[in-house]
Structure 1
Amino acid sequence: MRRMFPLVSLLLVMLLSWVAAASGAAAVEVYYAPEDLPGDRLASLYDQAQRYLYVSVYRLTYPPIVRALVAAEKRGVDVRVLTDREGLNDPKMESAMTTLHLAGVPIRVNRHEALMHLKQAVMDDEVNTSGSMNQTGSANRYNDERLDVLRDHATTVKAREKFLSMWKDEERFRPWK
């Protein structure tokens, strides 16, 4: 009987893994900074957007990400950015936002006293990202950060709905410029 326990346990784990895979459980890719250069992975992901790309981020200054967002806008992707107003005191952040604004990307900033501290991107109802990483060069190359890329329709739709509810909330968010 004791010899059977490890075998039964192994079979149970295999069965549960198969059930999770068959049920369409979300695929999650996890990247850590600095070793995985998650900002570069994020820029590559943005290059794949086809319909929409909604970014909620506390800080955004990393040039490859700014370029990817501008390129997506030029491809006709609906690109929008929500950010925190305090970051606009940083010249790098103001420069990045100005570049996006001049490219036609609408930007909204919080007008409430609390932080807009999300670090999330939502893309095409199939991909959303989350984690500790701001979209800056330091977060990509030096800081200890995490970026999760979730490929799951239901989770992404929920994230999109949250983004759009924040976007429409004129009491808490206002257009930048």
Structure 2
Amino acid sequence: MSIFERCSISSEPRLRRPRRTACLTTLLLHLVLFAALVPLRASATVDVYYAPEDQPIDRVAALYDRATTYIYASVYGLTAPAVVKSLVEAKRRGVDVRVITDRERLTDPKQQRALNTLRLAGVPVRINRHDGLMHMKQAVIDDRINTSGSANYTTSGNRYNDERLDVITDAAVTTKARRKFLSMWNDQARFEDWSE
């Protein structure tokens, strides 16, 4: 007999109220159990920005300005003054800021200046020591947001090149991106601390 059959209203008035209360309680219990067993997942949002018209690197800097816990950035090119400033200020606010970049970019004087500024502010920087490029353009912010796309954190990547930046707000995707960053960060065989 289904719950609906058991909960049908009795023709006897003295049984109507207790049976109705018991049935509603049972139904409510089933709904609560169902809700507890079925994970609710808010839908992800993806905001897409294009360079040069949307100036995506300025958007990255704005995200960094709102960070409260951590910023983990893995980016091939890092010279944009707005991004460097936002990372330094985040570090001063007590945010855990870490950067991974590519060793081949160290020949660029602008990249060296940017990395020196970060290092002097106490931001640890690691570089790849493996044969391939560290070619990611990704940031993970506060277990809430991660960014990805083609744009390096450079003036060219913001104002001149045709580039794309995706800002993804999704806990599961962001957790995966954080795990990847920390895996790279802790991989002593493939990455090392940068010092001038």
Fold agreement, TM-score > 0.5: yes
Structure 2 CA distance, aligned partners of 1:156 and 1:25? 13
| Structure 1: tracts of 5 or more residues without a match | 1-21
Structure 2 CA distance, aligned partners of 1:121 and 1:139? 15
Counterpart position of 2:157: 139
Structure 2 CA distance, aligned partners of 1:23 and 1:53? 24
Structure 2 CA distance, aligned partners of 1:132 and 1:26? 20
Counterpart position of 1:118: 136
Paired letter, 1:162 = K
How many aligned positions are there?
156
Larger radius of gyration: 2
1:31 aligns with 2:49: yes
Counterpart position of 1:159: 177
Paired letter, 2:146 = N
Structure 2 CA distance, aligned partners of 1:26 and 1:101? 34
Q: How does 1:45-124 map to 2 (within 5 A)?
A: 45-124=63-142
Q: TM-score, normalised by structure 1?
A: 0.87
User: Deviation per CA, 1:81-135, whole angstroms, max 9, x where unpaired?
Assistant: 0000000100000000000000000000000010000000000000000000000
The DSSP-based 3-state class of the residue aligned with 1:71 is: helix
Counterpart position of 2:18: none
| Structure 2: tracts of 5 or more residues without a match | 1-39
Q: Which runs of 4+ in 1 moved over 6 A?
A: none
Counterpart position of 1:9: none
Counterpart position of 1:130: 148
Paired letter, 1:86 = E
- Give the Å deviation of 1:174: 0.2
Q: TM-score, normalised by structure 2?
A: 0.79
Paired letter, 1:63 = P
Structure 2 CA distance, aligned partners of 1:39 and 1:166? 23
User: Deviation per CA, 1:40-90, whole angstroms, max 9, x where unpaired?
Assistant: 111001001000000000000000000000000000000000000000100
Larger RCO (CA under 8 A, 6+ residues apart): 1
